[in-house]
Amino acid sequence: MISSTENEFRSHISYYLAIRFFFIFAVLFSFFFFPIISEGEGLYSWGTNKFFLILTFVLFAVNVVSLLFVRSVRESLLVPFACCQFLLEITYWVIISFANGGISSPYLYVIIINIIYSGILMREKGVVITTLYASVLLALQYFVVKFSFLPYLSESVLKSYDVPWESYFSRLFTYMLFFTFTGVVSARITKNLHSANEELIAKAQQSKEMERHFLAIFSNISMGFLIFENGERKYSNSYAEQFEPLLDQFIRDVENSVPGSGKWEERKIGDKVFSYTVMPYTTNQQAIIFSDVTEIRREEENVELNDRLASIGKLTASIAHEIKNPLTSLIGASDLMCAEIKATQPDSTEVDELITIIRREGTRVKTLLDSLFRYTEETKYTITMCAPCNVLHEVIDAFRLGHPDIKIECVGEDESEILGDSEKLREVYWNILTNSAEAMSDTGEITIVSERRGNSLLMTFDDTGPGFSERSIARVFDPFYSTKKRGTGLGLALVYRIVTKHGGSVKAMNTGRGARIVVEFLIKEKA
């Protein structure tokens, strides 16, 4: 059985063969280099040790071939292949030590590398096999020398074997005990390292799996999820990334005033309103869970405004009804009275001025009451397919007749159609243009830009007047709110009412050159 994965096993064999390659290369180098600096007849003597040199060349060739073909060995043959490599090299180094001092040869210590690697690859079984094999060969050394079953060796080599058998086998036992202990320890260490590595791999896989589930869950929820540390964003899900320009500012603001854990608060960042809570995530990190409630708050404001307008409408309609009838009688009576006075005092300029004031102010009050009726009455809308830009041009043609000193320019014509009441749209455009004309004192420019954005038609009205004051810009659509001396405060309120009835929206702002009114309608696609 292979104790680790096939790839790990092959890699360990390759490392072992690479180490052996350098050892054998060192031996070959010694054979050719040492005789140059010494005339001795030791192991590194070409004249007396051709057998060992040939044996070294053979092992070198076997090692090169093994390195080249180790990747192609079948999995079932990997263990026998490794075992043969260990036994082959142990045999080589025992033969080398046989000709260089036997049990006292320093080359015996190279055997420990084989035993250690056998423990790494085949655990305790490999250590037992290689240790027993080395012990048998070293014991055999002693017997073949004592019984003269050996090739010619020098006198100095023979003397190294001239020791009592108790001493020889005592040293052999010590060597083998040390080799075995080292091999078993290496096998145990390798086994523990392999177990720890497998545990780390399992934990890493578990961590990746948890991360994958984490990303799958938090990337697709319809709420924003932010992780930050010391004001720096570490993670944001897909919902949060749609507010990318605002996220860093959001994190900074939240970090400066962190609410209690689990407590929900609201914060306005730019033109967005976020409902959020902050929770601890890790030791140094925190998480923000939030949602965009801008539209909800806007709808609540619209509902509140509509409720307020409805209450005002009912009140003003009641008051207007009670005032209009007596006012009509007063205007009629004043006309009769003025006619009689005029008949008796035809040349009185003072009477003429009084008559003019009475008629003018009475007519003004009556006009105001008519506007109130028009604003408060629940009129029915005649809904048809109509093109807002075409209706606008009709209004502009009529408007220019009464305001010749105002230049009106239309940009970006659009033939998009909506479901709406063309007569009510005329009132919208007429009131917007009238409001701009009054603000510019009937002299200036009005630029109207029409453009399509997705499923919406945006119509922008820019004038060159003084613009809205900071105080009044939030109230321009409130009924009865006016900054003009004789204004009724119902023109833009009527605009707001009609546009919202059409499912659109209207906004007021300043441009730096004057005021701007933006009207947005939903486009109805043609079937």
Backbone φ and ψ for 472, nearest 5 degrees, come out as: -95, -15
Q: What pTM does this model have?
A: 0.40
Q: Are 106 and 171 in contact (CB under 8 A)?
A: no
The alpha carbon of residue 321 and the mean position of all alpha carbons in its chain are separated, in whole angstroms, by 62
Backbone φ and ψ for 4, nearest 5 degrees, come out as: -135, -175
- First-residue to last-residue Cα distance in the chain: 73
pLDDT band for position 266 (50/70/90)?
A: confident
pLDDT of residue 151: 55
Q: Read off the amino acid at residue 87.
A: L
**How far, CA to CA in Å, does 88 sit from each of 84, 121, 186, 267?**
6, 16, 21, 78
Question: Which architecture, in CATH terms, is 296-376?
Answer: Orthogonal Bundle (1.10)
**How far, CA to CA in Å, does 472 sit from each of 140, 194, 362, 477, 481?**
112, 76, 29, 10, 9
Q: Report the CATH superfamily, name and number, of domain 384-522.
A: Histidine kinase-like ATPase, C-terminal domain (3.30.565.10)
Question: How far is the C-alpha of 359 from the C-alpha of 334, rounded, in Å?
Answer: 8
Q: If you count them, how many residues does the chain have?
A: 527
Question: How far is the C-alpha of 79 from the C-alpha of 108, rounded, in Å?
Answer: 24
**77-91, 231-245, 357-371: which range is least confident on average?**
357-371
pLDDT band for position 466 (50/70/90)?
A: confident
Closest CA to 388 of 327, 460, 300, 323: 460
**How far, CA to CA in Å, does 242 sit from each of 232, 236, 248, 278, 293?**
18, 10, 13, 20, 14
Question: How far is the C-alpha of 430 from the C-alpha of 408, rounded, in Å?
Answer: 13
**36-40, 132-136, 326-330, 415-419: which range is least confident on average?**
36-40
pLDDT band for position 49 (50/70/90)?
A: low
Sign of the Cα torsion 96, 99, 103, 107 reads: negative
Question: How far is the C-alpha of 48 from the C-alpha of 158, rounded, in Å?
Answer: 15
Q: Report the CATH superfamily, name and number, of domain 221-292.
A: YNR034W-A-like (3.40.1840.10)
Closest CA to 387 of 407, 405, 414: 414
Which range, 39-48, 157-166, 205-214, 510-519, has the best average confidence (pLDDT)? Answer: 510-519
Q: Are 291 and 223 in contact (CB under 8 A)?
A: yes
**Domain residue extents for the chain:** 6-202, 221-292, 296-376, 384-522
Mind listing the pLDDT tens digit for each residue in 405-417?
A: 899 888 876 778 8
Mind listing the pLDDT tens digit for each residue in 326-371?
A: 767 776 777 777 777 767 766 666 666 766 777 677 776 766 666 6
